[in-house]
Structure 1
Amino acid sequence: MQSAVLPDGRQIYCVNAYEVEFGIHEIFSDDLTARGLRLPANGTYLDVGANIGLFSLYLRDRCPQARIIGFEPMPAVFAPLAANLAALTPPGEAVELALGDRPGWAEFDYFPGIAALSTQNRAVGQTMAAGLRALLGGHQAGSEVQHIVERTGAAEAVADDGFLDALLRPERVRAQVDTLSAQIAALGVEAVDLLKIDTEGSEREVLAGLAEADWPKIRQLLVEVHLGPEVTETMAADLRGRGFSTTIGAHPLSQGGAAVFHIYAARP
């Protein structure tokens, strides 16, 4: 593991320190309450595809007595996640699993150089890698993202032959999968105040693993969709059909050409 320092001086564990500032920009700059979501201080939050736990830290800062459970299947990423959640007060819970439409095992593309890109959906991983390549190369990036690239020193590094090829080269990793409903039961969760899903292309499979009897337990969702605008709208429409109000926002990587969106969904 490596370590990194957040803007407020806190130290966290990570896979690659240079990834952390991008994650902070994506997560901490998003005001969920302005998107219509409520963050009860003592709620229950499921962070599916938690990576190193930056979203869980975001929640702890705003929800001091919340129960926070993070799911992450990649072993190299789970180690810093577990350490970061253990350091919270009160501690969060880390579960080394992917969530999908059925229990079992699955093959993932794990990106050691950019761990946040790791995915079970190879096509999505390639699209995200291409989008990140464009951003790191300074193409199509907005001013805020470009400033981050410059601060991390990536602008100079990408000039080296083969740097991005090495950075964005995946490895195959096998990981265990369970369903969301099975984990809700195993963890004794009676209600979910916010279900956050960021699984790099497997978001539909995660929701397919939620039994009909458990849907009423889900009060709000934040879903990062990596499958394009049509799938995003279809998923939002499905959520509206279940009684949620929805809004849609664009992910920072969309500046690099990756069609990534956020669905914010809440029950009235």
Structure 2
Amino acid sequence: MKTETAKQAGAGRLFLLPNGLKVAYQSKAEVPHLYDDIFDKQVYLRNGLRLKRGDCVFDVGANIGLFTLFVHLFYPDVDIYAFEPAPPLFEILERNVSMHTARANLFNCGLSDMEKEATLTFYPNSSGMSSFYADLDEEKQSLRSIMLNQLRKGMEGMKGLIKHADDLLDERLKNVTFDCRLRTISSIIAEKGIRQIDLLKIDVQKSELDVLRGINPEDWDRVRQVAIEVHDIEGRLQGIVSMLEGAGFRVVAEQDDLYEGSIMYNVYAARDEQNAPLEHGAAAGYQAIQERAKKQGESFYKSRRILSHRREE
């Protein structure tokens, strides 16, 4: 019964994004935050990270697919491999990719350091917090820090929410569990014959080190750029920075103002040859981003184009 509740949470509903795209969603409250991170702040293309036509992108922890759509809008011929283990989110990911005919290979699995099955704690009302390493106290502290930072920034309505923070957090962190398949990056590389991963984006709620450990030594040279959300537990941030530097990357670690006081950081890594002016992001201009996204949305709703993605087993 709990699984059905989780699946039905976002069924049949669409959210109109500021750029004119409509997307299916799991939790309505999460969509503006996801949009702000991915489309406005462009958190996965900072500190010199860039994309070009024909690149290959791994979207690890795809959630409802906003980053996959972001990449598709500006680089339609980029090969995208999107991984999402939570069944409710994967269904929504499939729907969003189908609606916007993104060129993506979708995998209903997580990535880790070995092939196995593991139990995912899924938060229907805070799906982005879902984790194979769930810790309610840590999750509550992270959400509380975000709420306090939003209050400091003067975000509308936060003062009233803070008064009821405990009840709100209890509601946001109601959860169900799923047994999910986990694979490794190197197994995907071998299976699909992937020669190069131009951007490896990882947002997997405390499983990021496992994902990196799933890259065999001989495959590291295939990875050109990395953007990771890191949870700094037991020195993990420094450990991941050192791992990436040891693999030949230039590395930058930073913390968004919204996550001040939490354990969450962003890490960016690129090979020396990637050190070039940004082709995307600020150089592209937000107005151009909005215009292209709007055109893509209008095109879909006029023509109802057919599926262009592939579901991988």
Q: TM-score, normalised by structure 2?
A: 0.76
1:34 is displaced (CA, Å) by 4.5
- Partners of 2:24 and 2:54 in 1: how far apart? 25
- Partners of 1:46 and 1:34 in 2: how far apart? 17
Aligned match of 1:250 = 255
- Partners of 1:59 and 1:185 in 2: how far apart? 24
| Aligned partner (choices 94, 97, 120) of residue 108 of structure 1 | 120
- Partners of 2:63 and 2:137 in 1: how far apart? 18
1:159 is displaced (CA, Å) by 4.9
- Where does 1:61-140 land on structure 2 (aligned, <5 Å)? 61-123=73-135, 126-136=137-147, 139-140=148-149
Aligned pair count reads 259
2:201 corresponds to 1:196: yes
8 Å CA contact retained: 1:39, 1:62: no
Provide, for residues 15-62 of structure 1, a one-character-per-residue CA deviation record: whole Å limited to 9, x for no partner.
Answer: 012210011122221365551112112200000011111111222233
- Partners of 1:38 and 1:8 in 2: how far apart? 21
Aligned match of 1:168 = 173
Rate the CA distance shift 1:229–1:43 in 2: closer, same or farther, 3 A.
farther
Aligned match of 2:218 = 213
Task: Report which structure shows greater RCO (CA 8 Å, sep ≥6).
Answer: 2
Q: Which runs of 5+ in 2 are unaligned?
A: 1-10, 273-313
1:164 is displaced (CA, Å) by 2.6
8 Å CA contact retained: 1:100, 1:177: yes
Q: TM-score, normalised by structure 1?
A: 0.88
| Counterpart residue identity of residue 180, structure 2 | A
Rate the CA distance shift 1:34–1:200 in 2: closer, same or farther, 3 A.
closer
- Partners of 2:27 and 2:18 in 1: how far apart? 16
Aligned match of 1:42 = 54
| Aligned partner (choices 253, 271, 281) of residue 267 of structure 1 | 271
Provide, for residues 80-105 of structure 1, a one-character-per-residue CA deviation record: whole Å limited to 9, x for no partner.
Answer: 11112223444322110011111111
Q: Which runs of 5+ in 1 are unaligned?
A: none
Rate the CA distance shift 1:135–1:245 in 2: closer, same or farther, 3 A.
closer
Rate the CA distance shift 1:183–1:155 in 2: closer, same or farther, 3 A.
farther
| Counterpart residue identity of residue 140, structure 2 | A
Percent of residue pairs identical: 30
| Counterpart residue identity of residue 73, structure 2 | D
- Partners of 1:143 and 1:54 in 2: how far apart? 27
- Partners of 2:25 and 2:56 in 1: how far apart? 24
Between 224-233 and 45-54, report the one with greater CA deviation: 224-233
| Counterpart residue identity of residue 93, structure 2 | L
Rate the CA distance shift 1:253–1:118 in 2: closer, same or farther, 3 A.
farther
Provide, for residues 131-174 of structure 1, a one-character-per-residue CA deviation record: whole Å limited to 9, x for no partner.
Answer: 213433xx233666x53xx3xx6765665573331221222221
Provide, for residues 106-132 of structure 1, a one-character-per-residue CA deviation record: whole Å limited to 9, x for no partner.
Answer: 011110111110001123x64233221
Please provide the CA RMSD for this pair.
Answer: 2.2
2:18 corresponds to 1:13: no
- Partners of 1:155 and 1:173 in 2: how far apart? 35
8 Å CA contact retained: 1:128, 1:258: no
| Aligned partner (choices 37, 41, 57) of residue 26 of structure 1 | 37
